[in-house]
A and B are shown apart, each in its own frame.
Chain A
Amino acid sequence: MKPSTISSPRQTNSKSVSNLMKTVLICLCPGIVSSCWFFGIGILLNILIATIAALVFEAVCLACRGKDPKVQMTDLSAVVTAVLFALTVPVGTPWTFIVAGIAFAILISKHAYGGLGQNLFNPAMTGYLFLLLSFPLAMTTWHIPLNDLTSGMPISPLSMEGVRQSLLASFPFMAFDSNMSKELIDGMTVATPLTLTEMASPNAFAAALSSDASIWSRDARTGWEIVNMAYLLGGLTLLGLKVIRWHIPLAIIGTVTLLSLAFYSPGSATITGTPYMHLFGSATILGAFFIATDPVSAATTTSGRLIYGVIIGISLYSIRVWGSYPDAVAIAVIFGNFWAPMLDHFFKPRSYGHKSKLSQLIQGLKS
Chain B
Amino acid sequence: MSDIASLILAAALVNNVVFVQLLGVSAVANFSERLQPAIDIAIFTAVVLILSSTINQLLFWFILSPLGLEMLKLIVFIGISSILATVLARIVRENFKLTARQQPIGFYLAGINSAVVGVSLLNSSITPSLTNFLNTVAVSAGSALGFAFVLVGLGAIKIRLSTSDAPDAFRHNPVMLISAGIAAMSFLGFAGLF
One of B21-29, B85-93, B130-138, B158-166 contacting the partner = B158-166
Find out whether the CB atom of B190 lies under 8 angstroms from the CB atom of A112: no
Q: Using Cβ atoms and an 8 Å threshold, which residues of chain B touch A319? A: 189-190, 193
A326-339 vs B: 1/0 string, CB under 8 Å? 00101100110011
Within 8 A of A (CB), among B172-194: 174-175, 178-179, 182-183, 185-194
A328, A335, A339, A342 — most chain B CB neighbours (10 Å): A342
Known contacts A133-B188, A319-B189, A345-B159, A108 near B164 by CB under 8 Å: no
Give how many A-B residue pairs fall within 8 Å (CB-CB).
97
Find out whether the CB atom of B189 lies under 8 angstroms from the CB atom of A120: no
Cβ 8 A contact of A334, one of B159, B161, B164, B183: B183
Cβ 8 A contact of B166, one of A118, A341, A345: A118
Q: Using Cβ atoms and an 8 Å threshold, which residues of chain B touch A328? A: 189
Q: Using Cβ atoms and an 8 Å threshold, which residues of chain A touch B170? A: 112-114
A335, B157: Cα distance in complex, Å: 13
Apart from A120-B179, A319-B193, A334-B185, what 17 extra A-B contacts exist at CB < 8 Å?
Answer: A112-B166, A112-B175, A118-B165, A118-B166, A120-B160, A120-B182, A129-B182, A133-B188, A322-B192, A331-B190, A334-B186, A335-B186, A335-B190, A341-B156, A342-B156, A345-B35, A345-B159
20 contacts between A and B (CB under 8 A): A64-B167, A113-B161, A113-B164, A113-B166, A118-B166, A120-B161, A120-B179, A121-B182, A129-B185, A322-B192, A323-B193, A328-B189, A331-B186, A334-B185, A334-B189, A335-B190, A340-B160, A341-B153, A341-B160, A345-B159
Cβ 8 A contact of A339, one of B153, B159, B161, B187: B153
CB-nearest residue of chain A relative to B171?
A114
Q: Using Cβ atoms and an 8 Å threshold, which residues of chain A touch B194? A: 322
Find out whether the CB atom of A108 lies under 8 angstroms from the CB atom of B178: yes
Within 8 A of B (CB), among A85-120: 108-109, 111-114, 118, 120
Chain A residues within 8 Å of chain B by Cβ, number: 35
Q: Using Cβ atoms and an 8 Å threshold, which residues of chain A touch B179? A: 120-121
Known contacts A112-B166, A344-B160, A322 near B193 by CB under 8 Å: yes
Of the four ranges (under 10, 10 to 19, 20 to 34, 35 or more), the interface on chain B belongs to 20 to 34
Find out whether the CB atom of A331 lies under 8 angstroms from the CB atom of B189: yes
Known contacts A323-B190, A334-B182, A118 near B164 by CB under 8 Å: yes
Q: Using Cβ atoms and an 8 Å threshold, which residues of chain A touch B157? A: 120, 338, 341
A328, B179: Cα distance in complex, Å: 19
Within 8 A of A (CB), among B71-102: none
Q: Using Cβ atoms and an 8 Å threshold, which residues of chain A touch B189? A: 129, 132-133, 319, 323, 325, 328, 330-331, 334-335
Q: Using Cβ atoms and an 8 Å threshold, which residues of chain B touch A330? A: 189
The verdict on B152 contacting chain A, using a C-beta distance below 8 Å, is yes
Q: Using Cβ atoms and an 8 Å threshold, which residues of chain A touch B166? A: 112-114, 118
